[in-house]
Structure 1
Amino acid sequence: MEPGAAPPRLRGRGSPVPGPARLALAVLLAVVAAFFVSTLPRVRAAAGFRPAGFDPWLDGWLQGGGYVTAAVLALLRPLSSPVDRAIWAWLAAAVAARALGFLLFLAYVRRQDPLPYPSVADAAWLAMYVFLLVGLVQLARRRTRRLSALLLLDAAVGVLAAAALAVSLLYRTVLSLAAPGTPDAAVVVNLAYPVLDLMLLVAFVGVLLAYEWRPPPAAWALAIGVVGFAVVDGVFVYQSAAGTFRPGTMLSSGSMAVTALVAVAGWLPDGSRAGRREPMPNVVLPGIFALVCLAVLVFATQRDVPALGVVLAGAGVVVAIARTGLSFRALRSLAEHRREARADDLTGLANRRAFNEVLERSLARRPDDRHLALLIVDLDDFKAVNDSLGHHYGDELLRLAAPRIQQAVRSGDVVARVGGDEFAVLLADADGPLAVRIAERLRAGFRRPFQLGSRSLVIAPSVGIALVPDDGREPVELLQHADLAMYEAKATRTGHALFRRELHPSSRMRLETTERLRRAIEDGEVVVHYQPQVSLRTGAVTGVEALARWQRPDVGLVPPSGFLQQVESGGLMPLLTGVVLAEAVRQGAAWAAAGRQLTVAVNLSVTNLLDPGFPDQVVHLLATSGLPYGALELELTEDLFMADPARARTAIAALLDAGVSLVVDDYGTGFSSLGYLRDLRDIRGLKLDRSFVTHMDADPRAAAIVESTVNLAHSLGMHVVAEGVETPAVRDRLGELRCELAQGFLFSEPRPAGDLDLDVAPGVRPGPP
């Protein structure tokens, strides 16, 4: 049997596809296209190849290379990613078996005289069907947790019906096409191919049911491949039995194409993020299969049907009867299970419903002198992992995070997953100090990197704490207060926070819906203000920093602290950064056209730097605006590096290659800044965090840190921007230290572009040259 496809696009943006797979895909595309062209009528003769029959270069080396490349591409999927490895290993084995069959036919079988049939090549090709069937069953099982016995019976009825129908209808046809004296083994093998093809189609119907008839791209690719195998094999069997098969035809290129498509399927989005589900039993399809079996039995009373067909149809009827009996019991079991479900499918922890019940019971039975603590744990930058690496790895991160949270608490405490990346912990007999110690221990457990495939990521949690009875006695109140404390921990970057009553005024702002914020960004309610950066030597305004503000119609101007965290957690940061960046570049270009040469600084978030398309977006903006590339200054903070160092460095290298200036923001607040300064040699400058600058005139330790940082930057060929300059004393001290630039309320608060005074900043004394 000859086993290759013009595959669709690889995984969506941000999904990690290793270099070897990209190379194999490129080679496969080229070989499939070349071989397809070679099978077009009269092309071979026109190109000087053998016009009819087997050509060793085209039908041998080129076609064989296509099958081998498809096998390599398919095998790279389970070897390079742990996600659903077993499923794609079976499907890769199927592609490899088809390639092996072709190689055996090419190197051994076709050299025999007479040509043996069936041969060892047919054994490999038939094994392909077994591997495909197992892979499709595994694919369907991934989407289901319960009712496994019922689904297996459904599959059995379908497979038996398909086999019985194929044997009953095709056996005589295959036998009539065979030449007189054809061995029985050859007839059986000729029959096996269409029978197995029909069984594959039935199996794939089961996959479609598991996905509720809305399969992802990977499943669609497999569907086309399975249907393609059925068509190609049907034509091949007919031609083989009639003695009309010839190599180097469109049939051969079609065989290679569908094989290649199955190989590519492993690199397409496969919908695993939807998680497992518990489907309602479907009685329609198994009923149709049972009727097919009954029809075969009735047909056997009127016509001569092979005994095998009768046995298969009878077995299908028996299984269908057993399956019907189980259906009613399964329906009752499913309804009861859904009422009693208490576990999270992904992590195995208690789910939101179970946790709420435990919380209610604990509060109802709590003695007056007993304290409880409720912790809400949220994973920082989880959205960035999902968007940049794909939902497979997001799910894997949640699975790996759950045991780390459990290890931090005591044996009697309750841990649950209550949202997408949100966990809840109920601590029994815990006061504030103990809850804080457990929160710190929990965060310490996250300092070890998470291994997601070939990537090593550091993800930190933010923990909000509410105490019983101090912060509330009712479940809803406590959950709300712990949630507010968690957002306070995120906003202040402290890692954990106890609920405080003064958090209430900001809660309404924080609870703005993601959709409301999306509309605000898209409708132009987010505006850009600019804060000047002043030369301490000349007093000239040399640059500005672009800062987002929300101009709410009902409230007025909202600072970033009032909405930025919700933007980040809602996955809107790429949209917001795009708006701010586009406006800052436009305004910078307008200043440049008016003769004002200013640098325009824009802050980045981790989501931006992990987006592989972000550097191209920046380059496109600059190319279409007319702003000089070096006039745009992107400010990076250390958390951008820690989420995915390799990908961050790739994005930084692309921006630097384009000529964009990069500055390390909030320098001195991270743990490994010196390491990044060593590795990122083309960083233009450092921006000193305001926590060191604002009080350096009264705090000798802060002043010493500023002085050492300025000296370090100068020795590395970088300039320094000091933010948070609010007094003349701080300004003068920075000038003495030869700090180049300063930014702060002493010079100007952030203002709209039209309100900025871009002349020499008042009161700036010229510093040393």
Structure 2
Amino acid sequence: MGKSTAAIARRMPGPAGICAFLALMALVATAVNLEHQRTPTVLLWITLPVSALIALASLVAIARRDDLTPVARRFWRHTAIGTAFAAVGATVNAYDCVVGGAAAADVSVVAGIGYAGAIVGNLWAMARLPLKVSGRGSMLRVGLDGLVVLLATGSYSWHFVTRPVVQEAGFTPAALVSGTVFLALNLLALMAFGKVALAGRSHLAPGVLPMMALGMASGMVSSLLLQKYAVDRPWLAASQVSVPVAMLCAVLAGRAQLRAVARGAGPTRAVRRLPVWLPYLAIVAVYALLVHMVAVGDSDALLFVVLAGVLTALVATRQQTVFRENANLVARLDHGATHDTLTGLPNRALFTERLDEALAASHTGRPVSVALIDLDDFKAVNDTLGHGVGDALLIAVADRLAAAVRKEDTVARLGGDEFVVVLDGMDPDNASAAAGRLIAALAEPVVAGDHELLVRASIGVAGGHSGENAADLLRRADIAMYAAKHHGGSNVEQYTEGMAASIADSAAIGAQLQHAINEGQMFLEYQPIVTLDGGRLKGVEALVRWNHPARGIVPPIEFIPVAERTGLIVPLGDWVLLEACRQLAAWRDELGDLGPGIVNVNVSARQLRDPGYVGRVAATLSETGLPPHRLTLEITESTAVALGESVGALDDLRRMGIRIALDDFGTGQSTLTLLHELPVDQLKLDRSFTQGTDTGRRDTMPSAVIALAEAVGLDLVAEGVENRDQADRLAVLGYQYAQGYHFARPLSPDAVTAMVAALPKPSSGETGAADLTAALV
């Protein structure tokens, strides 16, 4: 029984089928009664309220769907409101004629309000569709085109439709009001069609526009037929056909929308515009009609003369708008050819042109210099925070650079994170001082999106003279910039002879370093960290070394900056961490509590900004079996400042149980702020405070630091302890741990093992400092 009911339901016609039957019934009834009334009056009117109510139910259901866009839902909601008014007007109109015996042309006030509300509701639905026109010029041009077409169409509608009807009625007030209302509705309908033609396809499914246009057109055609043909047929009315047909078109438009949603098809996004020839065709049509009127002596000729003048003025205004738009477009194209689209600064082409001009003028003895600026670690910002934040950072940097130079200087963007400044009238020394001011201008944090970022830049300066070309001068500035990066970044280097060879050596080191990491040329040494009150071995700091097959041992100061600049610090740091954790785990198995209890590993900002770093640390601890609390990661103050919002990686590591140490403490400018913001467990006092020659300052600063560390509950390690006097003094001040050449130089793993084996077995749980020092001799 259930299956047969479902089958019957599937075979039953939907709203579109019922409305199509009612529209056909209305057309047949009108045709049958065209000459004489041959059927009961109810057959001429029953289709109106029934079709309107069916269409209303269908459109309300569509307007309540959640899978439509907000614009589409609003359109169908307003269309449903208009249909509700139509249902009221049709029902009252049908009741008046069938029950009340009113003539078909006599529309009561209530029915008239219903029909008028239907027209206004549907026009409002179309008017609310957003117009896809960008720019004031384009909006003005579209508005002028529409106004020209509207006035031309309105003039034809008045001359051929409205005026004959009003004239036949004797120009009575009622006829004038009726004709004016009809003309206004026609013009409003035309405006709605134009609006939908421009905007509708951007928000509604294909097929909706033709159906809605057909529905409104049926009303205008029916009204025209009534006025010209059915004046002497009181049983006929335009609404008898226009309402069922309009309701059918509305239901078909809704079905087109639902089918598009079911297919997953979105609205057409292409921006449409009126054909460019349309306003010209409209004015030609008005002038042609005016010529005809003058020839036959028509009374509307004067009116059309005025109208033709207005249309001519509108078209002329439109042309002026087009000319201005074209001129603005050419100006934008010219600007785009010489300026960077993101920052608005001059691009490489304009920079080269102005530098050539400055070099050409340098034959008079006027100096010229170039400062090439490259942002340090900009790639990490793009990789971790996204290109949107990176673009915002570049815009902010461009603004600061432009504000920090003289009016006669040129700031340009060469591409990526590279900027360049032409310093006309400056020799290299003055240009270097100006470059220092540029670095100072970038020192304040930059707000990019929702992020506060610290900007570091490396600047290379080179001076030029008459006869040089821009490319050579820029190349020298580029070499100086790489020298600045080689020396740690965030500084200025002035080009000197021989610098290119040094940079070439640095580039060669970078290429060889990749091979060294893969081929096992890297090794670790370990410097002991001891307790000052008893000399017990507390832990070790892992220090990476490079045994170059041709050069021998390469100092870290040569290859660490290269690794930072090239990004090789990430795989190198991963190798150091894994090797250090393996070694400490081996010492714990072999030496037990006599061996090192903790290993300290240095980590850079670039490593911490790597999205996968925290996961790789966890994997290393799991692979080596080393408990997290036996690993301490050391960061410098400069690293901490460069981290910015990536400081969250330190929080993640600390939650794992890993300790964080702040190395070279006291050398930066943001010490107290860092202690407040960073998740650190240990401070390592910089060697400059343990080796100073000023006795008062030498004691005052370490005392202040230990008081600070005790106040915030941090361990403290003194670095660079080179003799017993320094060790004893630090012990008196209250320091717990120290490292330095007094206790041990960096040692190989075997040397650390031998050192521990040589220590006498403690009788009270600790080894004396003298014993540890003797074991290393």
Q: CA deviation at 1:644?
A: 6.1
8 Å CA contact 1:697–1:733 kept in 2: the answer is no
Query: SS of 2:700's equivalent?
Result: helix
Pick aligned residue for 2:539 from 537, 540, 543: 543
Q: CA deviation at 1:452?
A: 1.0
Q: Per the alignment, do residues 354 and 538 of structure 1 end up closer, same or farther by CA in structure 2, a change over 3 Å counting?
A: farther
Paired position in structure 1 for 2:736: 740
Q: Per the alignment, do residues 392 and 569 of structure 1 end up closer, same or farther by CA in structure 2, a change over 3 Å counting?
A: farther
Q: Per the alignment, do residues 658 and 482 of structure 1 end up closer, same or farther by CA in structure 2, a change over 3 Å counting?
A: same
Q: Distance in 1 between matches of 2:663 and 2:452?
A: 24
Q: Which amino acid aligns with 1:692?
A: F
Q: Does 1:486 align with 2:453?
A: no
Paired position in structure 2 for 1:443: 439
Matches within 5 A, 1:421-460: 421-431=417-427, 433-460=429-456
Paired position in structure 2 for 1:627: 626
8 Å CA contact 1:526–1:548 kept in 2: the answer is yes
Q: Distance in 2 between matches of 1:635 and 1:676?
A: 14
Q: Does 1:684 align with 2:658?
A: no
Paired position in structure 2 for 1:672: 670
Deviations 1:126-147 (A, max 9, x none): 967855x97xx9xxxxxxxxxx
Q: Per the alignment, do residues 753 and 242 of structure 1 end up closer, same or farther by CA in structure 2, a change over 3 Å counting?
A: farther
Deviations 1:223-248 (A, max 9, x none): xxx9x9669999999x9988798999
Query: SS of 1:627's equivalent?
Result: coil
8 Å CA contact 1:696–1:703 kept in 2: the answer is no
Moved more, 543-552 or 631-640: 543-552
Q: Which amino acid aligns with 2:557?
A: S
Q: Per the alignment, do residues 707 and 361 of structure 1 end up closer, same or farther by CA in structure 2, a change over 3 Å counting?
A: same
Q: Which runs of 5+ in 2 are unaligned?
A: 1-5, 8-53, 89-116, 142-185, 214-247, 270-274, 276-325, 760-767, 773-777
Paired position in structure 2 for 1:406: 402
Q: CA deviation at 1:713?
A: 1.1
Deviations 1:186-235 (A, max 9, x none): x999x9999999966xxxxxxxxxxxxxxxxxxxxxxxxx9x96699999
Q: Does 1:580 align with 2:576?
A: yes
Pick aligned residue for 1:420 from 410, 416, 421: 416
Paired position in structure 2 for 1:270: none
8 Å CA contact 1:97–1:125 kept in 2: the answer is no
Q: Distance in 2 between matches of 1:673 and 1:623?
A: 34
Matches within 5 A, 1:109-124: none
Q: Which amino acid aligns with 2:534?
A: T
Paired position in structure 2 for 1:711: 707
Pick aligned residue for 1:391 from 387, 391, 394: 387
Q: Distance in 2 between matches of 1:710 and 1:365?
A: 61
Q: Per the alignment, do residues 243 and 476 of structure 1 end up closer, same or farther by CA in structure 2, a change over 3 Å counting?
A: closer
Q: Per the alignment, do residues 473 and 533 of structure 1 end up closer, same or farther by CA in structure 2, a change over 3 Å counting?
A: farther
Moved more, 446-455 or 503-512: 503-512
Paired position in structure 2 for 1:658: 656
Matches within 5 A, 1:182-221: none
Identity %, equivalent residues: 32
8 Å CA contact 2:346–2:411 kept in 1: the answer is yes
Q: CA deviation at 1:352?
A: 3.8
Q: Distance in 2 between matches of 1:117 and 1:567?
A: 74
Q: CA deviation at 1:442?
A: 1.6
- Please give the TM-score of this superposition, normalised by the length of structure 2: 0.56
Q: Per the alignment, do residues 618 and 112 of structure 1 end up closer, same or farther by CA in structure 2, a change over 3 Å counting?
A: farther
Q: Which amino acid aligns with 2:378?
A: F
Query: SS of 1:366's equivalent?
Result: helix
Aligned residues: 547
Q: Per the alignment, do residues 369 and 233 of structure 1 end up closer, same or farther by CA in structure 2, a change over 3 Å counting?
A: closer
Q: Which amino acid aligns with 2:685?
A: L
8 Å CA contact 2:605–2:643 kept in 1: the answer is no
Q: Distance in 1 between matches of 2:556 and 2:72?
A: 59
Deviations 1:149-196 (A, max 9, x none): 9xx9xxxxxxxxxxxxxxxxxxxxxxxxxxxxxxx99x999x999999
Q: Distance in 2 between matches of 1:128 and 1:718?
A: 65
- Please give the TM-score of this superposition, normalised by the length of structure 1: 0.56
8 Å CA contact 2:720–2:739 kept in 1: the answer is yes
Query: SS of 2:396's equivalent?
Result: helix
Q: Per the alignment, do residues 241 and 419 of structure 1 end up closer, same or farther by CA in structure 2, a change over 3 Å counting?
A: closer
Q: CA deviation at 1:385?
A: 1.5
Q: Which runs of 5+ in 1 are unaligned?
A: 1-40, 43-52, 68-94, 138-147, 153-183, 201-225, 263-289, 291-328
Matches within 5 A, 1:38-77: 64=66
8 Å CA contact 2:661–2:682 kept in 1: the answer is yes
Q: Per the alignment, do residues 575 and 337 of structure 1 end up closer, same or farther by CA in structure 2, a change over 3 Å counting?
A: farther
Q: Which amino acid aligns with 2:481?
A: M
Q: Distance in 1 between matches of 2:474 and 2:642?
A: 29
Q: Distance in 2 between matches of 1:574 and 1:444?
A: 29
Q: Per the alignment, do residues 425 and 728 of structure 1 end up closer, same or farther by CA in structure 2, a change over 3 Å counting?
A: farther
Matches within 5 A, 1:263-302: none
Q: Which amino acid aligns with 1:709?
A: V
Q: CA deviation at 1:686?
A: 0.6
Paired position in structure 1 for 2:50: none
Q: Per the alignment, do residues 766 and 119 of structure 1 end up closer, same or farther by CA in structure 2, a change over 3 Å counting?
A: farther
Paired position in structure 1 for 2:765: none
Query: SS of 1:348's equivalent?
Result: coil
Query: SS of 2:684's equivalent?
Result: strand
8 Å CA contact 1:384–1:606 kept in 2: the answer is no
Query: SS of 2:648's equivalent?
Result: helix
Query: SS of 1:406's equivalent?
Result: helix
Query: Which has the higher relative contact order, 1 or 2, with Cα contacts under 8 A spaced 6 or more apart?
Result: 1
Q: Which amino acid aligns with 2:531?
A: S
8 Å CA contact 1:447–1:458 kept in 2: the answer is yes
Q: CA deviation at 1:574?
A: 3.9
Q: Which amino acid aligns with 1:344?
A: D
Q: Which amino acid aligns with 2:687?
A: R
Paired position in structure 1 for 2:32: none
Query: SS of 1:724's equivalent?
Result: coil
Query: SS of 1:759's equivalent?
Result: helix
Q: Per the alignment, do residues 254 and 640 of structure 1 end up closer, same or farther by CA in structure 2, a change over 3 Å counting?
A: farther
Q: Which amino acid aligns with 1:685?
A: Q
Q: Does 1:598 align with 2:597?
A: yes
What is the root-mean-square deviation in Å for CA atoms of aligned residues? 5.6
Matches within 5 A, 1:516-555: 521=517, 527-553=523-549, 555=551
Query: SS of 2:539's equivalent?
Result: strand
Q: Distance in 1 between matches of 2:521 and 2:206?
A: 56
Q: Per the alignment, do residues 629 and 195 of structure 1 end up closer, same or farther by CA in structure 2, a change over 3 Å counting?
A: farther
Q: Per the alignment, do residues 633 and 114 of structure 1 end up closer, same or farther by CA in structure 2, a change over 3 Å counting?
A: farther
Paired position in structure 1 for 2:719: 723
8 Å CA contact 2:608–2:643 kept in 1: the answer is no
Q: CA deviation at 1:60?
A: 10
Query: SS of 2:443's equivalent?
Result: coil
Deviations 1:668-723 (A, max 9, x none): 1222211222344x521112223333x23566434432232123212322112223
Q: Per the alignment, do residues 507 and 684 of structure 1 end up closer, same or farther by CA in structure 2, a change over 3 Å counting?
A: same
Q: Which amino acid aligns with 2:654?
A: L
Q: Which amino acid aligns with 2:414?
A: V
Q: CA deviation at 1:438?
A: 1.5
Paired position in structure 2 for 1:21: none
8 Å CA contact 2:63–2:73 kept in 1: the answer is no
Query: SS of 1:744's equivalent?
Result: coil
Matches within 5 A, 1:232-243: none
Q: Per the alignment, do residues 616 and 96 of structure 1 end up closer, same or farther by CA in structure 2, a change over 3 Å counting?
A: farther
Q: Which amino acid aligns with 1:97?
A: V
Q: Which amino acid aligns with 2:421?
A: V
Query: SS of 2:458's equivalent?
Result: strand
